[in-house]
Amino acid sequence: MKPKYRRHQTREVKQPRYTRDAKQDIKRTAAAGGSLRDKLKAYRDLHAHALFSSLGRLVSSPFNTIMTVVVLSIAISLAGGFYLVLKNLQQFTGNLETSAQISLFLKDEITEAHAKQLAENIRQNPAIQSVKLITKEQALAEFKTYSGFGSAISVLKTNPLPIVVQVLPRDTLENKEGFEELLQTFQQSVEVDSAQFDLKWVQRLQSIMAVSQRGAALLNLMLGVAVIFIAGNTIRLELNNRREEVIIAKLVGATSAFIQRPFLYTGFWIGFLSGVTSWFTVTMMMLILMQPVEHLSTLYGGNFHLLFFGFLDTLELLAISSGLGVLGSWAVLMHQLRLTKVM
């Protein structure tokens, strides 16, 4: 209905003469309040006041604040946890890349001297990073130590294990064709009984990682949306509680920016506090997991160490959670303040 009336109004009344005066006058009214320095100081004070009074409000109603912050920090902890798990797993696949090696099991009739010669020949190949020869005796000793069949092995009269040459090619994962070619040459060489490699396994693990990374990104996106909505809902309730204040401020000439400021700071604090809480939650969980994980790592003889939030990770976590809090409250303010009738 309204637009129709507006059109009536503009058609029937001549107005431009006043509008220019009004603009100048508004500028003058807006400029009230003393010298520039005084005004800048007042502006800074307004922000500082909004920052601390919004925190004070949150502290003065601890139950509501804790409820919101706990819900938010669960969402943020989940997201942060996913991030850390992936970061740790990446370290794991990083280790594996170097283990994409080829094991050449030599034929039984090959002598140790011959094997040494072979290893030396392979080492000359520029596509090879390193070569390690494992003699029959070394293999047996290793088998005895790690297999748990030590006593059973000693019953055997002859050593059944073949000589093994472990070959570590350069750039295994970047240059797949080269790797396949290398593997074929080894398989065809007369001394080699069989050539094994574990690249396929590494590739599978890597694609699993890629899938989980994308999955985690999607989940984190959803959790971020949840954080925006939860923070927004809290601000909506706060806005309802302080409706009277908003109306009075509007009546004595407050701009939208003035009215929104404390609520935006509330959103910031909720996000920030939730970020801090989730940092501690995730770190606590990692500390609880640390001992068994390190134990598991030593069992596999790996040098896998649990990674925690770094300095930059922490900054990022706090910035994102505070930002989402502000975003949520901003969205609600845009919507709700338009609906708030002054009287």
Residues that bind other proteins (CB under 8 A): 1, 5-6, 8-9, 12-13, 15, 18-19, 21-23, 25-26, 29-30, 32-34, 38-39, 41-43, 45-46, 244-245, 247-256, 258, 341-343
* Closer of 38 and 108 to other proteins (Cβ): 38
Cβ 51 vs Cβ 263: under 8 Å: no
* Closer of 23 and 204 to other proteins (Cβ): 23
* Closer of 128 and 249 to other proteins (Cβ): 249
Phi, psi of 220 (to 5 degrees): -65, -35
* Closer of 26 and 315 to other proteins (Cβ): 26
Which residue spans within the chain are E strands per DSSP? Answer: 102-106, 128-134, 164-169, 192-197
* Closer of 62 and 215 to other proteins (Cβ): 62
How many CA within 13 A on the CB side of residue 200?
Answer: 4
* Closer of 200 and 341 to other proteins (Cβ): 341
* Closer of 10 and 90 to other proteins (Cβ): 10
Q: Quick one: residue 105, left, alpha or beta (phi over 0 = left, psi -120 to 50 = alpha)?
A: beta
What is the pairing mode between strands 128-134 and 164-169? antiparallel
Burial 1-22 (b: 16+ CB within 10 A, else e): eeeeeeeeeeeeeeeeeeeeee
* Shortest Å distance, C-beta 60 to other proteins: 10
Q: Any idea what DSSP says for residue 163?
A: P
Which residue spans within 13-169 are E strands per DSSP? Answer: 102-106, 128-134, 164-169
Cβ 91 vs Cβ 302: under 8 Å: no
Q: How many angstroms separate the first and last alpha carbons of the chain? A: 21
Cα–Cα distance measured from residue 256 to residue 333, given in angstroms and rounded to the nearest whole number: 10
Length of the chain: 343
* Shortest Å distance, C-beta 252 to other proteins: 4
Cβ 115 vs Cβ 182: under 8 Å: no
* Closer of 39 and 176 to other proteins (Cβ): 39
Cα–Cα distance measured from residue 177 to residue 199, given in angstroms and rounded to the nearest whole number: 12
